[in-house]
Amino acid sequence: MNIPVVDLDLFTNGTPEEKREFVNILGKAYEEVGFVAVKNHGISDELIADLYKYVQGFFSLPVATKAKYEIPGLAGQRGYTSFGKEHAKGYDAPDLKEFFQFGQTVTDGDPIKDDYPDNIVVDEVPEFTPAMIKAYKGFENAGKSLLSAIAIFLNLDEKFFDTQVHNGNSILRAIYYPPITSEPLSAIRAEQHEDINLITLLVGASADGLEILTIDGQWIPVTSLPEQIVVNVGDMLQRLTNNRLKSTTHRVVNPPKEKWATPRYSIPFFLHPRMSMSLACLDSCISPANPKAYQDYTAGEYLDERLREIGLK
């Protein structure tokens, strides 16, 4: 599927006319599809290549070595989560993956630091942590620019999201789908789901498999071209906009049998706000034709509910 492509440089450095066009294209895509591909996002090809190299280095470690980075009580929010622990909301079968999560690093004295667990440092791959920190900041900066464009599209102040996502509870997740060695019980590596957060930024995975569910109920494969990242709306933003912006259902399917031996790596960045942010539907998105669809929640309350639903708490 050719999802809409936007050039982030036109928003950050373009003329007023180019900026308006970017906002309109982005907003329309999020109303109708829920996904866009973004080029000129500011995350270098060199950094992405390094990140995948060190991620592969971590997941190639022995199971017992990886297991020491799985910390009880963190609900998978920092460090390693072993194979088969997470499942999609509404499904009992576990996803065929393991993953490592890296969170916010607060460096400006913000007291919110006390709310976040420390990140887990991998001793066996010393380059892993510095690469995750650098990539985290790159994704965060790109995401903040996209949220500014979304705010303009919603007729909000351009800086509406700035204070809410500053030192937000975002997560950089490195996912490993191991090779398939026997007939799987399901054709799905990661069952259909919607993301929890505001927006998700995803660099091209190491293998195909991502599919999105269109508004007419068809599953369509999605791949991004080199030098692009795929960015989709999450449930928090859908909730905030009272369903005006769509949190698109997506899944990861197994490869054809001749490619079973091929592992798949994926590195999404889940952009979350501070846990205190209100997700109450915006007044401007409520009307007689579109009545308020959700009860008032904070981002922290909603995250806690969803982590329980997917088996991490």
Task: Give the CATH number for residue 15.
Answer: 2.60.120.330
pLDDT of residue 15: 97
214: its two tokens: 């269109």
Say if residues 152 and 158 touch (Cβ distance below 8 Å).
yes
Answer with the residue of higher pLDDT: 216 or 7: 7
Name the band, by pLDDT with cuts 50, 70 and 90, for residue 184: low
> Lowest-confidence range among 65-74, 91-100, 165-174, 213-222?
91-100
pLDDT of residue 67: 94
Sign of the alpha-carbon torsion through 254, 256, 262, 268: negative
Considering the chain, what is the average pLDDT of its residues? 89
User: How many structural domains are present in the chain?
Assistant: 1
Q: Which domain holds residue 166?
A: 5-309
Name the band, by pLDDT with cuts 50, 70 and 90, for residue 120: very high
Mean pLDDT of 116-124: 95
What is the number of other CB atoms lying within 10 angstroms of the CB of residue 98?
21
pLDDT at 1 over 60: no
Mean pLDDT of 217-233: 84
Answer with the residue of higher pLDDT: 214 or 269: 269
CB hemisphere CA count around 291 (13 angstroms): 1
By C-alpha distance, which of 123, 117, 83 is closest to 100? 83
pLDDT at 306 over 60: yes
Going from the C-alpha of 228 to that of each of 7, 88, 142, 201, 209, the distances in angstroms are 9, 27, 12, 10, 17
Distance of alpha carbon 216 from alpha carbon 311, whole angstroms: 30
Class of residue 289 by CB neighbours under 10 A (exposed 0-12, middle 13-18, buried 19+): exposed
